[in-house]
Amino acid sequence: MDKNVTLYALSTCIHCKNTKALLEELLGADGFDCIYTDRLSGEERNDTLRDLRRINPEVSFPTTVVGDDHVVGFKQDKIRELLDAS
C-alpha cells in the first residue's frame, strides 16, 4: 500500500470504532493514522478540523482518507474498494 490512510474519528462514536477495527483488520494497527478529533484541543484541534472541512465540509464522522479519496461513514465496501485500488 503506497497511499497514506487517515481516519478522522470521535472516541465515542460506534461507527468510528467499527471503521477503526476494519482498518486494523485490513492494514494492521500501524498501517494508518487515527485522529480522535474530540480529544484534541487548542490550535491542534482547529488545524485538524480545518483540514477535515476541506475533505468533508459537513465535518461528519468517521471520515476515512485514502490518498486523494475519502469515505464518509462506515461504508465497508467502499473502504475495501479504495484500499484494494491503492
pLDDT tens across 13-46, in order? Answer: 999 999 999 999 999 999 999 999 999 999 999 9
Q: Is 24 in a helix, a strand, or coil?
A: helix
State pTM to two decimals: 0.94
Domains of the chain by start residue, with CATH = 5-85 (3.40.30.10)
Alpha-carbon torsion 80, 52, 3, 6, what sign?
A: negative
pLDDT exceeds 70 at position 1: no
